[in-house]
């Protein structure tokens, strides 16, 4: 009998404490915790790195057109430069909207 009262009181104590703890944690829809400025700086840095990488790839496709197999193939270096340059510019333009 004493054991069941103890479990019941422990369970009721948990129910009373739980709503108080709920406000201390981020909800699932809250996303990544942290201040808005820290998250914004991280996203902006990532955009600059990725966009710059694409633009660097576009420049390399023009500078070394037939020496790098990463540019679709050796014959399509012009198309590779255009595609990577366009993607890089779109990513860098999105920097203004973050």
Both tokens assigned to 91: 């990513």
pLDDT digits (tens, 9 = 90+) for 4-27: 667 777 777 666 655 555 555 555
The sign of the torsion formed by the CA atoms of 76, 80, 82, 83 equals: positive
Interatomic CA distance for residues 76 and 62, integer angstroms: 11
Give the start-to-end residue ranges of the domains of the chain. 35-98
What's the whole-model pTM score? 0.59
Say yes or no to pLDDT of 88 above 80: yes
Token pair 């790098």 in the structure block, residue: 68
Under a CB-based contact definition with an 8 Å cutoff, are residues 96 and 77 in contact? no
């Amino acid at each position: 009998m004493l054991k069941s009262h103890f479990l019941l009181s422990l369970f009721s104590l948990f129910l009373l404490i739980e709503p108080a703890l709920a406000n201390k944690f981020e909800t699932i829809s809250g996303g990544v915790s942290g201040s808005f400025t820290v998250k914004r700086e991280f996203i902006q840095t990532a955009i600059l790195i990725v966009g710059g990488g694409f633009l660097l790839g576009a420049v390399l496709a023009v500078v070394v057109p037939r020496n790098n197999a990463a540019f679709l193939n050796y014959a399509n270096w012009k198309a590779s430069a255009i595609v990577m340059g366009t993607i890089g510019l779109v990513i860098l333009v999105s920097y203004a909207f973050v």
